[in-house]
Amino acid sequence: MHLAVDIGNTKTKVAWFNNQELSGSKVFDAFSEEELWRFVDAEQYSKIIVSTVKKLSVNFLERCAKSEILLFSQSTPLPILVHYATPATLGLDRLAAAVGAQARFPKQNVLVFDFGSCITTEFVSAQGVYCGGAIAPGLNLRFKAMHTFTDKLPLIPAGSPTLPTLTGDSTESCMQSGVVNGILFEISGSMAAYDAEYKDLKVIFTGGDASYFESLLNMKIFADPYLVLRGLNVILEYNAR
């Protein structure tokens, strides 16, 4: 069994794999090194990979070294080529998503949309080259920005269960249309632009808001909420070999 750990700013996601098959997963609302070690010690894993955006304690790093745990970084060898002008600033979740996308659709052009605090896109060519992508404000961030940086616009909840009308007839519905329909226009426009340039394009949605936007688009899209964790497992296997 392999264990992949993705430590984010607010949540920690873990998944265990039987080689490449996902066997289970768990989400920790708040990261605790002690809680994670209890989870790790409860099972026998042959290989473990940890990706984090947080600064880890010296004790944690020392224990990782003793346990031969792979700490994922921008210098970790990857099964894809990375053509990025500033690789040291490239988010580890973006790299893992790109690796997961390439593993799912090898030798094909793949475009990934990751819906989190920000909406990131990653493009991996059929030649297995990560070319980069885009970063834009996410769903909640757009609503919060309008409320924070104006005097009168309210803070309204994100994730309406239905598609907002194109033409809002109130301040709230206008904000919902601008945010949700605006994101949909961005996604469909981006997909059309990539599809015009690259043949047989595959599109994958992942991240917290992926299922919401997938439900609003009548397009052929592959949804995979575990894409980053799958990518981490592929990176783990690649380095083990």
> Using H for helix, E for strand and C for coil, what is the string for 20-74?
CEEEEEEEECCCCHHHHHHHHHCCCCCEEEEEECCCCCHHHHHHHHHCCCEECCC
- The β-bridge partners of 112 are 122, 204
Q: Which residues are marked as active site?
A: 93
* Helices and strands (H, E) in the chain, number of each type: 8, 11
Residue 5 main-chain phi, psi, to 5 deg: -125, 125
- How many alpha carbons fall within 13 Å on the CB side of residue 139? 22
Residue 179, helix vs strand vs coil: helix
Token pair recorded at residue 106 = 């090898």
Taking the C-alpha atoms of residue 192 and residue 28, their distance in angstroms, rounded to an integer, is 37
The distance from CA 6 to its chain's CA centroid, rounded to whole angstroms, is 10
AA identity, residue 99: V
